Structure 1
Amino acid sequence: MSDDRSTEGVDRSPTGASDGTDERPQRLVTDRRVALAATFVVAFCSIAYELVYSELLTVFFGGTVLRYSITIGLYMFSLGVGSVLSAQLGEPESNFLRTEVYLAIAGPAGAIAIVAINSLPSLTFAGKEPAVLLLSHVPIVVVGVLSGFEVPLLTDLVEDREETIFASLGRLYPRRLVRGLLGLFFTVDDPDERSFSEVLGVDYLGSLAGTVVYAVVLYPRVGLVVTVFALGLLNAIAALAFAAWTFSGRTRTLSRPTAGQWQALVLVGLLLTGTYAGLVGHPGAVDRAVTTTYLERNIEGEYPEGTDVRTLSYDTTPYQTVLTYERDLETHADTERCLHLDQALQFCDTWVDSYHSGLVDVPMTTFDDPSSVDVLLVGGGDYIAVDHLRQYGASVEQVDIDGEFLAMARQREFFREFHDDAHEYDRLNTTTEDAFTYLQETEGTYDLILLDVPGARSDETLSLYSTEFYSLVRDRLSDDGLVVSWVYPHADHPAHNEVYTATLREAGFERYLPYYVYDDLDGDGRLEPGERFYVLADGDGPTPDPDLERAESEYLREHAGAFDEWRWRSIPDYRGVEPNSVFRPNYDVIVDY
């Protein structure tokens, strides 16, 4: 039998003979390993782009589960659209190269577009909010449609089917056993070595790798900004590798796209590769420059025109971003220094004392002998609350999940000026652990539990505002023990506050003592309500009122007259409002800014 491989990939007449006059387009035969490697890279990058978009949308709009669900749903729909549209495409070689180049541009550009669209605080028009929300989802569709082109195009390129990758894998697993198990539920037959199945299998494998590497390596180590440029670099390299292989002489074709088209695409690929490589080569500088620029503008947009914000430091930990900055307000004579964690303002030096006096000193004045009080501090990684507790000689058990932030607070002068090396307090024990897990495992009880925790801005903090969490807190209270937390006022966030109080009731708390701390927040010389706090009590025991004359706080002694008469109240019961639970979340508890 003669070997006819020399004509492999050439269209034949119906009779199987070629008369040399067939002018139909001839197909380029691409090495199967190259095509499958490209399939893996394509799937890896595409799903990772969508995860980046999901995280960005969560930052801007809140609701982690909602954003990720919509993103994945839109992505899958767009993949289908792209797959259908791919039937209109010819020349799989050049169109695949185009798709890779377009993805290398569209992926990073989509992330930049989401940030840009949500960074227009001064621009107002009718329907702005839904328009911004809609436009922020366009990059998901663009990347999805482009990714949908790829599997059909790559399937056309995998034509060398002498032995598929899955046939090779057949020697690596007990094929008879697998076929036997499948035969229990399906009708089995010898595999027909279909290229579509092969490409789709590698595509799914690449998607799995993309999700794992993004979650375990890229996002926690380099952040969103550098991740999206690294993915763009990988797409550009894949395009160049495919182009190089095509022109290496290892492929056979009777018809190629014009040289000018290929040269233009390769040139763009080279430019993208060089640009992205330069950016990825300096991850810290790139992430800091992009993020701090955005954050500075975003913070400035929260205040009257003329506010100037200057970054002092920017860092990322596995759990949050940490930004310190200076700001000048026209209404304030002096420059303020402030701390942002993620997208939320934590404190500025002009009111940091009033916040911690409200959190710590007010409840501590309810105890006759503060030095005998056992305190559990949940959060408080800046050690400022510990410094206030140290003034009373209380025993402090602190639990905070973010060990890197704790180390930062111990070492950096910015924080040390506020906590005065409180981490060295001899009655402090700090545990680096998730508070929910800690409360499940500890057997200790406490006279005072202080919740210095993040706001309810995303699904990631939902557990800290759940009936399960507050039930654990209640179980850890000693007789007549108290719980204190800052809260979002009902006047500003009614939906959140109603779900929060329903959660407290469900967890067994019956009474609360509400109060504000007061400061001159706008620089007009008059005191305004600042942070809002609740003291929570369980059962029918006595409810002690704070006695500010006992306070070891200069702020409280100076502003004691600003506080209203202390009055304990029953936890409100709002009709039709469901509590927030770990297993039955009520997303109204999430606060959108």
Structure 2
Amino acid sequence: MTDARLRLQHLTLLFATFVVAICGLVYELLIGTLSSYLMGDSVFEFSLVIGLFMTAMGLGSWLSRHAQLELARWFVAIQFGIGLLGGLAPLILFFAFAQLDNYRSFLLLIVIALGTLTGMEIPLVIRLLEHMRELRVNLSNVLSLDYVGALVASLLFPLVLAPQLGLLRTGLLFGLLNLWVALLAAWVFRDQLARWGRWLMALLLAMALLLALFVLAERLTQSMETRLYDDEIVYAETSPYQRLLLTRDGARIRFFLNGALQFDSLDEYRYHESLVHPALALAEGRERLLILGGGDGLALREVLRWGDIGQVDLVDLDPAVTGLFRRNPLLRQLNGDSLSDPRVQVRNADAWKFLEQADTLYDVILIDLPDPRSLGLSRLYSESFYKLAAKRLARGGVLVTQATSPLYARQAFWSIVASLEQGAGLEALPYHAYVPSFGEWGFVLASAKRLDRNNPLHGAGLPPGLRFLRQDLLGPMTRFPPDMARLEVETNRLSSHVLSRYYEEGWANWFR
């Protein structure tokens, strides 16, 4: 074999190492993200996927010892298998979740198979390189490229791939990339491959399949997601932070983030009136207001019912959410075009960082954030977060937060109450309302001033036009029946994050 041919094979294997390292980590991130989107618990799903994948890689490395002859054929075959399985993995998992009852079995099989094949790659590459360079040089080159490839994948996936291509197309693209590496390796090592023509045909057919699916990916995604929702999907988008989805049935609109229902237009007024108006009625002023979350503008719509509202700062992390609810005609009608009101300043920022950097005191702080189903959200219900929020309250100011269900997640609800009391040093007044889409739902008022549990509004009026809340309702809303009564629970600290555990255990107990 000529030196030029050896050099070409050497460079091809190093290049393949870099590419397959990117592909391997992308498959891990892709499956973890998809499983979190479908199953909800991001910490558990990512831990399961990464742990199984790494274990399977170890198994693959061990199995690679049995590949003793025709190493080039083994390498091409492994790339072929990874490309086909990795490319189709999101489609298979979507189908398993929507149509079958054993999603978890499919997840485990795919992760173990991909991990095992991925684990066989590096040992085979090193053995293919052993006649071209010294072992110490080969090891340093291969492992360096492997780690750099992982870095590239970890940056590309959240910043470019997931938001721009979506999960299905990302999987198909990297499946094509693996197949292209297999095709390149098959050509470079064609003198070592028996039946080169059959390999070429198989690789081209597999690439044609993935390419066709890539073109049809949008339709396939819509078809799969349609099976997960009762109504017609009228809008779907993947932002750098989450999956946004809007469904419609006649005049009824429902909005989902990462598969979790955020509101139903039939009854959202019950939730938003309960969240907003008690706090505004109790506050000594309404000149400066802060809304954390609430990017749909529905809580803001209720705020603007009050005629003496001054300036409102609305802080929502995702510009995709505020942009959608600011421009979509159906949603603008639902939120009263509140996001375009001249008194409102929308800031796309992290709520925690905003509170850390803010120097304004607010008469009312409304916290309308998603449920604490992950550690990233749990921190926004912690003692430390409430302490930051309390520092931004003006004298006589009132804070209110949604606090999940006191029935379905009873421990989580009372942990939020305790965290407000101990973390912020405020007097807390918990209350609840029935929202048909969610069941019994909880809220917590908090203030440095005394809150009267028997007469919460102290005769303060409410704005006209409300469909649910009345002055005489809030007193009963502060009373809890025995199955929702207060429990002794831990407060939610950054060091423990007990809230996310309370939340998951509570909901799992009701909805298995």
TM-score (norm 2): 0.86
The residue type paired with residue 456 of structure 1 is P
Percent pairwise identity: 24
How far the C-alpha of 1:49 sits from its partner, in A, is 0.4
Quote the Cα distance in structure 1 between the aligned partners of 2:279 and 2:415: 24
1:295 aligned partner: 225
How far the C-alpha of 1:364 sits from its partner, in A, is 2.4
1:425 aligned partner: 341
1:487 aligned partner: 403
1:534 aligned partner: 444
**Larger helix share, 1 or 2:** 2
Give the secondary-structure state (helix, strand or coil) at the position aligned to 1:365.
Answer: helix
Give the secondary-structure state (helix, strand or coil) at the position aligned to 1:55.
Answer: helix
The residue type paired with residue 348 of structure 1 is D
Q: CA RMSD in A?
A: 3.2
Give the secondary-structure state (helix, strand or coil) at the position aligned to 1:258.
Answer: coil
Pair 1:78 & 2:12 matched = no
Quote the Cα distance in structure 1 between the aligned partners of 2:433 and 2:135: 74
Identify if the C-alpha distance between structure 1 residues 77 and 470 changes in structure 2 by more than 3 Å, giving closer, same or farther: same
> What aligned pairs does 1:146-545 form with structure 2 within 5 A after superposition?
146-161=117-132, 193-247=136-190, 256-259=192-195, 262-280=196-214, 282=215, 286-287=217-218, 289-300=219-230, 309-327=231-249, 336-367=252-283, 372-392=286-306, 393-395=308-310, 396-509=312-425, 511-518=427-434, 521=436, 531-538=441-448, 540=450, 545=456
Q: Verify the 8 A CA contact 2:407 2:440 in the aligned structure 1.
A: no
Identify if the C-alpha distance between structure 1 residues 501 and 388 changes in structure 2 by more than 3 Å, giving closer, same or farther: closer
Provide, for residues 64-105 of structure 1, a one-character-per-residue CA deviation record: whole Å limited to 9, x for no partner: 344333333322221121111111112111111111110011
Quote the Cα distance in structure 2 between the aligned partners of 1:36 and 1:205: 12
- Pick the aligned partner of 1:137 from 93, 108, 115: 108
The residue type paired with residue 265 of structure 1 is W
Q: Verify the 8 A CA contact 2:43 2:375 in the aligned structure 1.
A: yes
Give the secondary-structure state (helix, strand or coil) at the position aligned to 2:246.
Answer: strand
Give the secondary-structure state (helix, strand or coil) at the position aligned to 2:227.
Answer: helix
Quote the Cα distance in structure 2 between the aligned partners of 1:220 and 1:590: 28
How far the C-alpha of 1:144 sits from its partner, in A, is 1.0
Provide, for residues 308-349 of structure 1, a one-character-per-residue CA deviation record: whole Å limited to 9, x for no partner: x1111112222222211124xxxxxx7522211221212222
Structure with larger Rg: 1
The residue type paired with residue 64 of structure 2 is S
Pair 1:101 & 2:80 matched = yes
Give the secondary-structure state (helix, strand or coil) at the position aligned to 2:255.
Answer: strand
The residue type paired with residue 472 of structure 1 is L
Pair 1:44 & 2:22 matched = yes
Q: Verify the 8 A CA contact 2:253 2:264 in the aligned structure 1.
A: yes
Identify if the C-alpha distance between structure 1 residues 245 and 464 changes in structure 2 by more than 3 Å, giving closer, same or farther: same
How far the C-alpha of 1:134 sits from its partner, in A, is 5.2
How far the C-alpha of 1:512 sits from its partner, in A, is 3.2
Quote the Cα distance in structure 2 between the aligned partners of 1:342 and 1:156: 44
The residue type paired with residue 176 of structure 2 is L
Q: Verify the 8 A CA contact 2:22 2:149 in the aligned structure 1.
A: yes
Identify if the C-alpha distance between structure 1 residues 529 and 341 changes in structure 2 by more than 3 Å, giving closer, same or farther: closer
Quote the Cα distance in structure 2 between the aligned partners of 1:484 and 1:422: 20
The residue type paired with residue 117 of structure 2 is L
The residue type paired with residue 581 of structure 1 is R
Quote the Cα distance in structure 2 between the aligned partners of 1:493 and 1:484: 19
How far the C-alpha of 1:566 sits from its partner, in A, is 5.8
Provide, for residues 388-407 of structure 1, a one-character-per-residue CA deviation record: whole Å limited to 9, x for no partner: 22221312222112223222
How far the C-alpha of 1:542 sits from its partner, in A, is 6.6
Quote the Cα distance in structure 2 between the aligned partners of 1:8 and 1:65: 49
Q: Verify the 8 A CA contact 2:432 2:477 in the aligned structure 1.
A: no
**Gaps in structure 2 of 5+ consecutive residues:** none
The residue type paired with residue 27 of structure 2 is Y
Quote the Cα distance in structure 2 between the aligned partners of 1:435 and 1:471: 13
The residue type paired with residue 451 of structure 1 is I
The residue type paired with residue 151 of structure 1 is I
How far the C-alpha of 1:258 sits from its partner, in A, is 3.1
Identify if the C-alpha distance between structure 1 residues 312 and 560 changes in structure 2 by more than 3 Å, giving closer, same or farther: farther
Quote the Cα distance in structure 2 between the aligned partners of 1:295 and 1:548: 46
1:585 aligned partner: 497
> What aligned pairs does 1:539-554 form with structure 2 within 5 A after superposition?
540=450, 545-546=456-457, 547=459, 549-554=461-466
The residue type paired with residue 313 of structure 2 is E
> What aligned pairs does 1:4-15 form with structure 2 within 5 A after superposition?
none
Quote the Cα distance in structure 1 between the aligned partners of 2:411 and 2:73: 54
The residue type paired with residue 35 of structure 1 is L
Quote the Cα distance in structure 1 between the aligned partners of 2:95 and 2:412: 28
Quote the Cα distance in structure 2 between the aligned partners of 1:246 and 1:385: 64
1:170 aligned partner: none
2:70 aligned partner: 91
Quote the Cα distance in structure 2 between the aligned partners of 1:420 and 1:497: 31
1:116 aligned partner: 95
How far the C-alpha of 1:442 sits from its partner, in A, is 0.9
How far the C-alpha of 1:530 sits from its partner, in A, is 5.3
Quote the Cα distance in structure 1 between the aligned partners of 2:352 and 2:142: 44
Q: Verify the 8 A CA contact 1:379 1:453 in the aligned structure 2.
A: yes
Pair 1:31 & 2:9 matched = yes
Identify if the C-alpha distance between structure 1 residues 238 and 257 changes in structure 2 by more than 3 Å, giving closer, same or farther: closer
Quote the Cα distance in structure 1 between the aligned partners of 2:430 and 2:491: 20
Identify if the C-alpha distance between structure 1 residues 31 and 6 changes in structure 2 by more than 3 Å, giving closer, same or farther: closer
Instruction: Report the count of equivalent residues.
Output: 497
How far the C-alpha of 1:505 sits from its partner, in A, is 3.4
Quote the Cα distance in structure 1 between the aligned partners of 2:127 and 2:439: 68
Quote the Cα distance in structure 2 between the aligned partners of 1:538 and 1:116: 52
